Amino acid sequence: MTVIKKKRKAIVEQSDCVACGCCVKVCPLGAIRIIKGIMAQVDENKCVGCGKCAKECPASVIDIRARRSLPSVSTASCSLPRYLV
């Protein structure tokens, strides 16, 4: 059985971002940085989807959305012997 998990992540509408840096200041994991002084960029590997950046953004260009992660395979449905899994 394949299980697909959805994880919440911050998504920045970069074309509307004013690069004020408010999101960078409130991110507890340092997952956001300002690129070339013109837009914010989220590191999806660090982002946990807490929503602090979206609440702080004065331009309201950050959304928290569910993103699909890679499927994980349950070993219960595997036909290989247990010692090979």
Mean pLDDT of 35-39: 93
Structure tokens at 49: 């989807």
| Most confident of the following: 13-17, 31-35, 73-77 | 31-35
Supply the range of the domain harboring residue 55: 2-84
Per-residue H/E/C for the chain: CEECCEEEEEEECCCCCCCCCHHHHHCCCCCEEEECCCEEEECCCCCCCCCHHHHHCCCCCEEEEEEECCCEECHHHCCCCHHHC
- Mean pLDDT value of segment 27-42: 95
Domain count, the chain: 1
**How does pLDDT run across 46-79, given as a tens digit for each residue?**
999 999 999 999 999 999 998 765 555 555 555 6
Look up the CATH number of the domain holding residue 23.
3.30.70.20
What is the pLDDT, as a whole number, of residue 79? Answer: 63
Which residues, 6 or more positions from 66, have their beta carbon under 8 angstroms from its beta carbon? 6, 7, 8
Mean of the per-residue pLDDT values for the chain?
83
Q: What is the pLDDT of residue 76?
A: 53
